[in-house]
């Protein structure tokens, strides 16, 4: 035998090591002798006794297969050993040594004699319990995600309908609806950072009040986490209160102040009080808006408690009593408190924005949002380049004359960084319009304005106009 021919053979010891490293056990089924050989590795994986055992016509493993899988196991065994060639099977097996149920993948090859009669099966087994559990976990997560997405869409739909019923103009509807949508997005951002285990009240307060009127808002209370449902409800309530305070209440003047305090109750719930002071004299409103309905009918119920609103001359006072069901355990992952709800450099435009003649590149993978951006920028007078929905599309447009750009941070799972770097080298200014909740500034560390989704398109137009003015 030549050296090359010898090298073609697999060293049995190396094969043993390879099978062990791969977590595989091997077996042989001699159909002529009706014997089943269980290797040491297969015995360790399945709990079956090591060595040669009677095959009982191929049914040696049947007594160890989970009853719910036995019929399919028998049917597959007969079908696949009769057809010949390689085959695979997966089934649940009850280990005889400790009674545990495991998922086993079995793969084998049927050997035949000169007449084509099957005479032996050689194969391997593998414990795939962890893989099956991971797959089941993924399926549960997908189902939970589907449930949450549908709940969010239903909530947004209800929010739009309720806002529309109580708004007399399109501009008023857009302003109110966008603000409420941002409040929901803020709560969801905090919940996502904590893997949907809960959101802290002080984080919700910081997100809603932190950027409104520096020095005129304060909040304090013990560390307390809310369930996702309660967090969304409280975030919306704080948004409504803050909006009213800015328009009509304590935050409409430089001398006013809003204080938010909360405390635990002995029954596991908590009390929360919103107090306005130093603002204009308050009177009972003549009509009930959506905010009042939300606070008095929705918030308390969603937090398993009740809400009372008092329009005292010195300032609005709101008391919320929440039940224990609204409180969540402290999550394993607790995000840092946000500095403000919106990390943005521009607000919605209070008037028409003039972008006449400006060539603006749009890079956005959400088609509907890209179309909305195109419409908004075009109405402001811009000449839109794109929109580009993919990274390659955007890169191909960079040889055009571009005055400014609007960039989504993520394009179908790919970073927009190459586009941003190319624009930066050409000194073309750009704004990020993104759904990512980064609080440390622009994605990728670029010196650029950031507008968080969901946004008002007028914010984007105003940001682009500001960029062009600064050139």
Q: pLDDT over 70 for what percent of the chain?
A: 78
Quote the pLDDT of residue 293. Answer: 74
Quote the pLDDT of residue 335. Answer: 62
Helix H or strand E encompassing 139? helix 129-165
pLDDT over threshold 80, residue 25: yes
Q: Which tens digits make up the pLDDT trace of 55-103? A: 888 888 888 999 999 999 888 888 877 776 688 889 999 999 989 999 9
What integer is the mean pLDDT of 276-302? 80
Quote the pLDDT of residue 410. Answer: 84
- Between 185 and 28, whose confidence is greater? 28
User: Cα separation of 67 and 165, whole Å?
Assistant: 59
410 φ, ψ to 5°?
-130, 125
Quote the pLDDT of residue 452. Answer: 76
Categorize the per-residue pLDDT at 179 as very low, low, confident or very high, splitting at 50, 70 and 90: low
Closest by alpha carbon to 435, among 210, 230, 181? Answer: 181
Categorize the per-residue pLDDT at 272 as very low, low, confident or very high, splitting at 50, 70 and 90: very high
Q: Which tens digits make up the pLDDT trace of 116-128? A: 888 888 889 999 9
All domains in the chain, ordered by first residue: 24-127 (3.30.450.20), 133-328 (3.30.565.10), 359-470 (3.40.50.2300)
Long-range contacts of residues 116-119, Cβ cutoff 8 Å, at least 24 apart = 118/31, 118/81, 118/82, 118/84, 119/30, 119/31, 119/32
Helices assigned H by DSSP within 248-345: 290-293, 300-302
Q: Which residue has the tokens 């130093």?
A: 278
What integer is the mean pLDDT of 278-292? 79
Categorize the per-residue pLDDT at 340 as very low, low, confident or very high, splitting at 50, 70 and 90: very low
Averaged pLDDT score across all residues of the chain: 81
Closest by alpha carbon to 376, among 458, 464, 465? Answer: 458
What integer is the mean pLDDT of 132-161? 66
Quote the pLDDT of residue 80. Answer: 77
- Between 20 and 278, whose confidence is greater? 278
pLDDT over threshold 50, residue 439: no
pLDDT over threshold 50, residue 160: yes
Quote the pLDDT of residue 341. Answer: 37
To 10 degrees, the CA torsion angle through 444, 447, 448, 451? 60
3-state secondary structure 219-242: EECCCCEECHHHHHHHHHHHHHHH
pLDDT over threshold 50, residue 440: no
Q: pLDDT over 90 for what percent of the chain?
A: 30
Query: What is the C-alpha R_g of the chain?
Result: 33
3-state secondary structure 340-405: CCCCCCCCCCCCCCCCCCCEEEEECCCHHHHHHHHHHHHHCCCEEEEEECCHHHHHHCCCCCCCEE
């Amino acid at each position: 035998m030549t050296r090359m021919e010898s090298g073609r053979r697999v060293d049995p010891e190396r094969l043993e090591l390879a099978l062990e490293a791969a977590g595989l056990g091997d077996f042989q089924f001699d159909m002529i002798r009706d014997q089943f050989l269980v290797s040491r590795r297969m015995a360790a994986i399945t709990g079956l006794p090591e060595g040669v055992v009677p095959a009982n016509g191929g049914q040696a493993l049947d007594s160890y297969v989970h009853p719910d899988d036995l019929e399919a196991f028998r049917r597959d065994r007969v079908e696949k050993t009769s057809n010949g060639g390689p085959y695979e099977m997966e089934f649940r097996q009850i280990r005889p040594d400790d009674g545990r149920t495991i998922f086993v993948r079995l793969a084998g090859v049927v050997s035949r004699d000169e007449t084509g009669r099957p005479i032996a099966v050689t194969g391997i087994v593998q414990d795939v319990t962890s893989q099956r559990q991971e797959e089941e976990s993924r399926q549960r997560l997908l189902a939970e995600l589907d449930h949450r997405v549908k709940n969010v869409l239903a909530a947004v739909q209800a929010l739009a309908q309720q806002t529309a019923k109580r708004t007399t103009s399109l501009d008023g509807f857009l302003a109110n609806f966008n603000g409420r949508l941002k409040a929901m997005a803020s709560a969801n951002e905090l919940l996502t950072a904590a893997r949907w285990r809960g959101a802290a009240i002080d984080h919700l307060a910081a997100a809603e009040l932190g950027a409104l009127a520096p020095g005129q808002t304060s909040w304090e209370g013990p560390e307390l986490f809310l369930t996702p449902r309660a967090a969304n409800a409280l975030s919306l309530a704080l948004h409504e209160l803050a909006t009213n305070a800015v328009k009509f209440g304590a935050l409409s003047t430089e001398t006013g102040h809003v204080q938010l305090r909360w405390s635990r109750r002995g029954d596991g719930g908590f009390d929360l009080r919103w107090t306005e002071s130093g603002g204009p004299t308050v009177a009972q409103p003549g009509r009930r808006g959506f905010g009042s309905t939300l606070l008095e009918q929705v918030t308390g119920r969603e937090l398993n408690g009740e809400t009372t609103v008092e329009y005292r001359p010195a300032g609005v006072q709101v008391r919320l009593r929440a039940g224990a069901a609204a409180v969540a355990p402290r999550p394993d992952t607790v995000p840092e408190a946000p500095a403000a709800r919106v990390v943005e450099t521009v607000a919605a435009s209070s008037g028409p924005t003039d972008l006449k003649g400006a060539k603006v590149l749009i890079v956005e993978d959400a088609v509907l949002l890209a179309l909305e951006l195109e419409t908004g920028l075009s109405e402001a007078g811009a000449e839109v380049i794109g929109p580009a929905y993919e990274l390659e599309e955007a890169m191909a447009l960079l040889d055009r004359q571009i005055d400014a750009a609007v960039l989504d941070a993520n394009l179908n799972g790919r970073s927009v960084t190459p586009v941003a770097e190319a624009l930066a080298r050409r000194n073309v200014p750009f704004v990020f319009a993104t759904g990512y909740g980064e609080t440390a500034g622009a994605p990728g560390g670029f010196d650029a304005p950031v507008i968080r989704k969901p946004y008002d398109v007028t914010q984007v137009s105003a940001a682009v106009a500001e960029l062009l003015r600064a050139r």
